[in-house]
A and B are shown apart, each in its own frame.
Chain A
Amino acid sequence: MTIFIFKAVLIFIIFLISLGIAAYSTYAERKVAAFLQDRIGPDRAGPFGLLQPLADGVKMFLKEEIIPTVSDKWLFILGPCLFMVTALMTSAVIPWGMPLEIGGKIYKLQVADLNIGILYILGVVSLGVYGIMIGGWSSNNKFALLGAIRASSQMISYELAMGMSVIAIILISNGSLSLTAIVESQKGLNWNVFYQPVAFLIFIICAFAECNRTPFDLPESESELIGGYHTEYSSMKLGLYLFAEYINMFISSAVISCLFFGGYNFPGLDYLNTVLPVNLVSLISIGILFVKIFFFIFFFMWIRWTIPRFRYDQLMRLGWQILMPLSIINVLVTGAVLTFFNK
């Protein structure tokens, strides 16, 4: 029974952390944007503007809730809910750190250690399209519909290359699909990024596309589609869409850290294990993972304020004609090297 309580507490904490990080990502986004443009950014609410997300949240809640009369009411409400649910569900298979020891029992810091962990993430991400599509269609607005169609075709296209690049990772980490096993196979500085730079490049480009982040933010490109799929949304329903996007960013940063940068591993972890108590090492490993995650969140923002948006045909060409063949070749080469040189 204690395992259930532990898991429930863990899920609760992960939800809180996801939402908190999403909230502070909005603040970080504005701060990073400002700093990269030689500005200061929000600094009025609280010290250094740290209460800005709170102010934004209150503003979101107090805005008028508008459901267009020509829209399909139920689907209009369902859209943001689905998007949020799928965004939060992805965090279930990520190993957040070394096991904790509470009352003589060992608890894994992972909600579910599925043996298909990475496929689970791909599956849930592929379901995330529905939130956008339904929201865009039910708004009964041509810009929303165009945004939704762009979002879905973009996500489907980049999912393929993403899956193919993951196959290479699975090949070099003993053929296991479980995220725990993939992380465990990267002890020390034995990170996958050093063995699979091409897969990393493909994966991170696809992650940008899946999160609808610049340079691939065509579904909501404000200069052509007003707000894209959330043009008609207001109040907290819009808030859910924006929030879920930041959660997606957080989760994809976590997945990138786990797949390519060793997750909670760092050089010297084994040594620390022998000298420090288990729980302290566990906390340190969690901290290390979060440092990596924060770096990638920063990287997402850094890219956003550096590279301009792609044109839609360029996006499709990059996905299908460059990343897709490249990832297949990568898998072939990895397989060949493993077969002939790694006996």
Chain B
Amino acid sequence: MTWIERLYLPAIFQGLSITIKHLFKKKVSLRYPEVKRAFAAVYRGMHVLKRDEQGRENCTACGLCAVACPAEAITMVAAERKKGEENLYREEKYAAIYEINMLRCIFCGLCEEACPKDAIYLTDRLVPSEYSRGKFVFGKDMLVEAVDQRIDISKRKKVYEI
């Protein structure tokens, strides 16, 4: 090092000038509850179990999502469709219980890729916070979309060209 460099003062002033420049830069923070950050179109948040156009559940409880899940967060119990339930479930088999443990889930989206029936999708909704661990096991009541409140997943729907 030269004598000037060994003084360290020029380096210190250089550092000071860098930090003072940041004082006048645009701040990157968002004031969260008032301003919300825009989500990416393919943001992987809370799951949704889709219904088809007639309001029937797509899921047939095939279990591919549970197999694909690296965190083993998904469990389900399958059941056979009874007579008169054709308006509720699209195919003869359906998931009587479908649970995702949101504390285990790592939101990788592999369930979405594994699903052959377009039934499960990750959305841009956030998992709400709770006070106890038990409440993070989301059942069908939390996951299946309501008939009158459809959740739009058209932007993230993958179109595979064969």
Which residues of A come within 8 Å of B, CB atoms? 32, 34-40, 43, 302-303, 305-307
Contacts and interface: CB of A to CB of B under 8 A. Distances in A.
Contacts of A306: 12, 15-16, 18-19
A35 B22 contact: yes
Given A306-B12, A306-B16, 10 more contacts: A35-B27, A36-B19, A37-B22, A38-B25, A38-B28, A39-B28, A39-B29, A40-B29, A306-B18, A307-B12
Nearest to A39: B29
26 contacts: A32-B23, A34-B27, A34-B29, A35-B22, A35-B23, A36-B22, A36-B23, A37-B22, A38-B22, A38-B26, A39-B27, A39-B28, A39-B29, A40-B27, A40-B31, A43-B31, A302-B16, A302-B19, A303-B16, A305-B19, A306-B12, A306-B15, A306-B16, A306-B18, A307-B12, A307-B15
B162 interface: no
A39 to B, nearest CB: 5
Kindly name the residue among B16, B19, B28 whose own CB sees the greatest number of chain A CB atoms within 10 A: B19
Contacts, number: 36
Contacts of B27: 34-35, 38-40
A325 B154 CA distance: 74
A294 B28 CA distance: 26
Nearest to B18: A306
Interface residues of B, number: 14
A302 B23 CA distance: 10
A69 B45 CA distance: 49
Nearest to A303: B16
Contacts of B23: 32, 35-36
Interface string B1-36: 000000000001001101110110111110100000
A41 B16 CA distance: 20
Interface in B34-50: none
A38 to B, nearest CB: 5
B37 to A, nearest CB: 14
Contacts of A39: 27-29
Contacts of B29: 34, 38-40
A306 B11 CA distance: 11
Contacts of B12: 306-307
A6 B62 CA distance: 88
A36 B28 CA distance: 12
Contacts of A305: 19
B12 to A, nearest CB: 6
A305 B21 CA distance: 13
Kindly name the residue among B26, B27, B28 whose own CB sees the greatest number of chain A CB atoms within 10 A: B27
Contacts of B26: 38
A303 B13 CA distance: 10
Nearest 5 CB-CB pairs, A to B? Answer: A40-B29, A306-B19, A306-B15, A36-B19, A39-B29
